[in-house]
Amino acid sequence: MNTVVISQPMLFPWIGMFEQICLADVYVHYDDVQFSKGSFSNRVQVKSASGSKWITVPLIG
């Protein structure tokens, strides 16, 4: 049986995604999906000295 991982693009993927890709027989980078506002496609939460901050990259299109 083959293992398939399908993932859409993210600004900074979580580390577990790389493990899934390594363990999969087939990896599909699904980049033709509808954008979800508030998802991790264009933003990431980082820790700073003053607490958690969100870094967001504006998307055009």
For residue 25, the model assigns a pLDDT of 98
pLDDT at 41: 78
Q: What does the DSSP 8-state code read for residue 26?
A: E
pLDDT for 5: 95
What 3-state class would DSSP assign to 38? Answer: coil
Q: Which of 35, 28, 30, 27 is nearest to 8 (CA)?
A: 30
pLDDT the model gives residue 39: 78
pLDDT digits (tens, 9 = 90+) for 3-57: 999 998 888 888 999 999 999 999 999 988 787 777 777 888 999 999 999 998 8
Which has more confidence, 61 or 14? 14
Residue 28 and residue 56: Cα distance in Å, rounded?
25
Instruction: Supply the pLDDT for residue 61.
Output: 66
Q: How do beta strands 43-48 and 51-56 pair?
A: antiparallel
